[in-house]
Amino acid sequence: MSTARGERGRPGTDGENGGSLGSLPLLLRERIWNGSDFTGVNISLAIATWAFLVGGSTALLVGFQQGIAAMVIGNAIGLGFMILASVVASQRYGVEQYTILRPVFGLVGVGILVFTVILITEMGWSSLLAIMVGRAVTQVSNSTFGTDFGPESLMVTFFALVAIAVSWWILSRGPVTIGRFNKFIAPGLIVVTVFLMIFLVLNTSWDALLTAAPLAPFEDDRLNFALAVEFNAGVGVSWYPVMGSLARLTKTPRAALWPSYGGLLGATLIAQIVGMAAALTLGDSDPTVWMLPFGGPLLGAFILLFIAFANITSTSSIVYSTVLAIRQASGNLLTRVRWAWLCAAFFVLPAILAFFPGFMYLRFMTFVTLSGAFLAPMCGAIIADYFVLRRQRVELEHLYRHRSDSAYHFSTGINWAGLGAVAAGAVFYLVIYNPVTLTTLPVFSYITASLPSAIVGAVVYYVLARVLYVRRGIGGYAPAAAKVGESA
């Protein structure tokens, strides 16, 4: 990965050829972000129109006070185990997060997850963010120039495609360019969000806000609150596909851990609370609809366009990690494909989905929670592997060795304990809560689904790994840990 020109400039790095022993010193030298830099990256990720949409979607289920509680609890839980699973190991060893997953799932197992769960999740988020840009721009056009573009018009698709093109351009320049954009996007987003909060307080009756009814609740209040908590937990864990690969570019563990949790949690909650309050008072959960009348024709238009542009920088950061994962998981198949072309290939499906702007938009809550059904047990398995079985010790050299030369080699290239844990946790999740049909078991109202499914994933991984591999000396669990401990 060249710090100046994305992935094109320097052969032999982890991002360029899938990793080699000679690339390891380069990985350690290419840490480019301090704590403030990474805080800016996380704030620009967290505060975009999707964050306001999360708040508005929460308002569908619960009122203001319960909504704040649901967002705090859900995000805190989801972010908590997501960061443990993604940020800690990648930052410590300076390794792309899907490379350091090879001991957990096996080389082939990582590829299976990347080309299914991760790829579908991140393509979905990319299409959603682009469509929100399209809807924001058309709303401003309707207000300013008197046009009449509907929420599913061709112009929404056009501007979504423009957003995808700009995201590709930023992404093709590499992480330094992403960081430069975030340096002015993040402070601007803070100012905009604080202004929206002040404007909300000054122009909204506090009593009216506290007594405002949810927009579309179910009859069971306990179920509504549990669904709101679970939805926000899904939002928290949905950061998993990107955070490790971004955190590895930080200079110190402190610069990675606290900006990850504090930046994402604080910024997300502020934006979500504003979105929820506006939805409850104006009666619409869509920020591209309420932001114009909320802020006025001129200021509202400026704010909406600025936040829409933040969607583009969010997309660039998200896709950066995902494209690295695709390259890593493909073995030698994509090593010679230019970084810019690989990024362009990723955007093909999001561009196609942009022609159906209502598809992802109307299924936002379903998409988030369904993604969490698989990401939560993934995080649980990773935590059990790294913190419990390996005790935070990994041999970098063996991550890049092939087959039996590696301590992390598994027959068929799959660590069946890892995939089994993901499957078991996902089944558990979908049994107690089905995001598609919205059917739940009574226990869901008390324990929700993400955290229990992460615990199930961790327990299943621990048991299967000990039975299948640890006792037989396979997978480098105890031996690898001991060697690294001695060398440290």
Between 144 and 18, name the one with better pLDDT: 144
Task: Name the token pair of 62.
Answer: 């619960």
> pLDDT tens digits, residue range 124-176?
999 999 999 999 999 999 988 888 999 899 999 999 999 999 999 988 887 76
pLDDT at 103: 95
Contact, 368 vs 234, CB < 8 A?
A: yes
Residue 414's pLDDT band, with cuts at 50, 70 and 90, is: very high
Angle formed by the axes of helices 240-247 and 299-329, nearest 10°: 80
Reported pTM: 0.86
413: left (phi over 0), alpha (psi -120 to 50) or beta: left
Which of 97-111, 218-232, 307-321, 431-445 shows the lowest per-residue confidence on average (mean pLDDT)? Answer: 307-321
Q: How many CB atoms lie within 10 A of CB 392?
A: 14
Q: What domains are there in the chain, each with its CATH number?
A: 42-363 (1.10.4160.10)
Between 427 and 283, name the one with better pLDDT: 427
The whole-number average pLDDT for the span 43-65 is: 86
> pLDDT tens digits, residue range 204-227?
788 888 889 999 999 999 999 999
* Calpha distance 141→132 (Å, rounded): 14
Rank 152-161, 263-272, 321-330 by mean pLDDT and report only the highest: 152-161
Q: What rounded mean pLDDT belongs to the chain?
A: 85
Confidence check: pLDDT of 352 > 80? yes
Which of 192-196, 254-258, 278-282 shows the lowest per-residue confidence on average (mean pLDDT)? Answer: 192-196
Residue 26's pLDDT band, with cuts at 50, 70 and 90, is: very low
Residue 454's pLDDT band, with cuts at 50, 70 and 90, is: very high
